[in-house]
Structure 1
Amino acid sequence: MKDTKPTIPNTPTNKPTKDRKRKAVDLNYDLNLSTTSTGDTTEKSGDGPQRRLWVKTRSPDWWDEYNREDVSELEFKKAFKMGKNTFNLICDELSATVAKENTMLRDAVPVRQRVAVCVWRLASGESLRLVSKKFGLGISTCHKIVLEVCSAIKDVLMPKYLQWPDKSSVKVISNEFETLSGIPNVVGSMYTTHIPIIAPKVNVSAYFNKRHTDRKQKTCYSVTVQGVVDQAGVFTDVCIGWPGSMPDDQVLEKSALYQRASGGLLKGVWIVGGSGYPLMDWILVPYTQPHLTWTQHAFNEKIGEILKVSKDAFARLKGRWSCLQKRTEMKLQDLPVVLGACCVLHNICELRGEEIEPELVVEVVDDEMVPEIALRSEVAMKARDTMAHNLLHHNHAGTSFL
């Protein structure tokens, strides 16, 4: 049942155009071939001038302040959304993967600084230009570091910190959810959110988010993140990167979670989802028809308590990593790995008790569309009716709906 890697759709890539002029890329140095009257900047030989490499100086003073051993825990956490011990843990676990060797031209960027560049970029949502200034590195260097560290998080930390629970953990999770809601055998709370993006150059209509556009009165494009969390709001499964025009039920059908469930690996347990998902043998959703009975109202109220766990988890995820709240500069094909890294870092913070400041938690609003075929299992319909009856008549259900 273990399948923790984010499900990533195929995205088209741009083919190189022939005869296109190669543009210079900022790699933290320039090649200076000019000669001035005040002194040579070239080395001459019998074959003509030779190129001399010079390094553009940038100040790392901002990072040096946070890299001091005596920097306060409060100050560090305010900047990086995690305490120093958690940050050090991540550096230690990624060290072997992200470390680079010095060259004759320059010293390699240290592991702590590389991890800090990535975490700061995700936490602040600042542009690469501003990240570059804070860390004393080139813009393209920062961009490369962010992608490399996010990839290392996916490869090294995701199998450890974002995985489907084993049998003993499933029992603990289901007991906690039953204590919360009175509904038995629930192993996860599922929610799908949208991450804003700049209009892509290809297949633009697929990423157009009509529901967000209508609400905000502003053209919106997005990709989706479907996540299942346990009772503590820790992600146990993610499906990342499908176009924003897809409704929740279609994203679900594209996920590895759906494939595992279709193979019978979720038999006898429930994942609770909102009204955007279909009722199935393993997905439990609220009643959506008009004129609900008291029993159905009571059931929906308890389902709502479970759904709140995943929605709150996404609110903290987006609050911690501000890059998820604004349209990103990153290429579409790089985005799933970055979003997956955010989910892994969220889990590490949650598991280590890293609390998020209440003012940072964002309101998560994603319109749910009831699927065309909302009821896909007679067995599940009868099971839901039985649970709803038991909740109301065994005093497990509240009466706030009255």
Structure 2
Amino acid sequence: MEEEEQLRSFLFVMTYMLLKRRRDINTANTHRRNEIHRRIRHRQYFFQRQRRMLMMMIAGGIRSNVRIRTRPWTTTQSTDWWERVVMTEFQPSDWLDKFRMSRDTFFYLCDKLRPRLARQDTSFRLALPVEKRVAVALWRLASNIEYRTISSLFGVGKSTVCRCVRDMCHAIVALLSSVYLRSPSEQELEDSAHLFLSHWGFPHCVAAIATLHTAIITPSNNASDYANPAGWLSVVSQVAVSGRGQFWDVCASFPGGTEPADILQNSSLWASAAEGGLSPNPTPTFMGKPLRYVLVGEACYPVQSWLMKAFPEEKGRRATHTALTERQRLFNRSLSRALRVCDEALLRLRARWQCLSKRNDCGLDVVPTMILACCILHNMCESHGDAFKAEWQAEVSETESPQPNHKHLLSTSLDQSQAEEVRHLFCDYFEQNE
């Protein structure tokens, strides 16, 4: 009996193991078949997707060919518009109107920015050529139109337009600042002093300083700090303009409510000029005395031995006008005439790059870099002799908000006593020449 019980137990165990082995084999076969079917379905889906994309590309090519034959170039498909119209059919006037520079200057800019803007193709898409990236960004800077409009025009996504603008502005500041926005050499100082005397009638002067307000959207924090004296929100920039109407120094990172004197005192221009950085060695002479070159500015700036401003004509807001001497009035008129170099340079800057004349909807992290990039592009176009169209200036004058007036801000807290001696020396010069 015991042997029979052992045999039955043995047979039961063997039967169970055989059944389990058979079940495991069937399960493994089922998993294998499911995996094979899954891979087949995935491959079929992949091939179908490729086929649909190919058919869409073929259909898109057919539609674009139809548009080319039946419509003018202004309404052709965006990719064809860039590759065929812009690159092959644009006339010199078209380059100036759309990109605010000549064709030669455009390709010069592309070559200079290529180390920072060139991208590699990937397995999923072809990288945009540097020329197209630069064209997208320049179109935005020149017109300040919406991203979606530029997106449709060039056949790229809105995020791509935004990225092109950011990348190009940063590349310009990084690669071209040392060429087109730098401290002047001794020869450039002498040339600028000669131009101020011959064109503007002010001697021994190498630059004029002024402010530029760029309208912005309402910031998320401290919006009241960005309200300028005219009542609208802006970022204020300080510029130093040479006798040629080009920018030597730009400080573009202050809220619109900041006073110009505070910007000047916190800028590198203040430290450089105070230490004699804007005058050659040995010190040039003026009216028989050694005197460093000077800058000119409006009444909102403090008078220094290197910074001349007009004699005040009133003592505070409620006081009557003071009696200026004839030589002081002559000095004020001459200085006011010299300050026109800033007005003309800033007007040409805003007219060429209208992102500075209209409200800029970019973030505050981008606006200062964009302002610097536009100033560098202005200097580059002026240096290359690119034409400037009068209609640009007329358009800006009619549409933009007037720049805030800082003339009512009379700065005296940082005035130097020895600066009065320098200012009276200029009065002697104008009185003698009168």
Shift of 1:353: 1.4
Which of 246, 249, 253 is the aligned partner of 2:258? 246
Q: Which has the higher contact order (CA 8 A, sep 6+)?
A: 1
AA aligned opposite 1:384: R
Which of 292, 316, 319 is the aligned partner of 2:351? 319
Are the structure 2 counterparts of residues 375 and 336 from structure 1 closer, same or farther at C-alpha, using a change threshold of 3 Å? closer
Q: Give the whole-Å Cα distance in 2 for the aligned partners of 1:372 and 1:301.
A: 19
Determine if contact 1:60/1:133 at 8 Å carries over to the other structure. no
Q: Which residue of 2 aligns with 1:357?
A: 389
Determine if contact 1:192/1:248 at 8 Å carries over to the other structure. yes
Shift of 1:381: 0.9
Q: Which residue of 2 aligns with 1:212?
A: 230
AA aligned opposite 1:161: Y
Task: Out of 386-395 and 197-206, give the one that drifted further.
Answer: 386-395
Are the structure 2 counterparts of residues 260 and 120 from structure 1 closer, same or farther at C-alpha, using a change threshold of 3 Å? same
AA aligned opposite 1:325: S
Which of 162, 175, 179 is the aligned partner of 2:198? 179
* 1:189 and 2:229 aligned: no
Q: Secondary structure at the match of 2:355?
A: helix
Q: RMSD of the alignment, in Å?
A: 2.6
Q: Secondary structure at the match of 1:324?
A: coil
Q: Give the whole-Å Cα distance in 2 for the aligned partners of 1:86 and 1:262.
A: 36
**How many pairs are equivalent?**
346
Determine if contact 2:202/2:338 at 8 Å carries over to the other structure. no
Shift of 1:306: 1.3
Q: How does 1:145-164 map to 2 (within 5 A)?
A: 145-164=164-183
* 1:229 and 2:229 aligned: no
Q: Give the whole-Å Cα distance in 1 for the aligned partners of 2:342 and 2:426.
A: 21
Query: Is the helix fraction higher in 1 or 2?
Result: 2
Q: Which runs of 5+ in 2 are unaligned?
A: 1-38, 61-76, 280-291, 314-320
* 1:336 and 2:360 aligned: no
Which of 100, 104, 124 is the aligned partner of 1:105? 124
Which of 278, 283, 291 is the aligned partner of 2:302? 278
Q: Percent identity?
A: 32
Q: Deviations over 1:30-74 (max 9, x none)?
A: xxxxxxxxxxxx99559x99xx79799883243235433342111
State TM-score, norm by structure 2.
0.74
Shift of 1:183: 3.3
AA aligned opposite 1:245: G
Q: Secondary structure at the match of 1:271?
A: strand
Task: Out of 262-271 and 97-106, give the one that drifted further.
Answer: 262-271
Whichever of the two has the greater Rg, that structure is: 2
Determine if contact 2:274/2:306 at 8 Å carries over to the other structure. no
Q: Which runs of 5+ in 1 are unaligned?
A: 1-41, 214-219, 396-402
* 1:169 and 2:188 aligned: yes
Q: Which residue of 2 aligns with 1:140?
A: 159
Shift of 1:258: 1.4
Q: Deviations over 1:239-282 (max 9, x none)?
A: 00200001111111121111223444246121111112110121
Q: Which residue of 2 aligns with 1:27?
A: none
AA aligned opposite 1:279: V
Q: Which residue of 2 aligns with 1:378?
A: 417
AA aligned opposite 1:287: F
Q: Secondary structure at the match of 1:322?
A: coil
Q: Secondary structure at the match of 1:158?
A: helix
Are the structure 2 counterparts of residues 126 and 390 from structure 1 closer, same or farther at C-alpha, using a change threshold of 3 Å? same
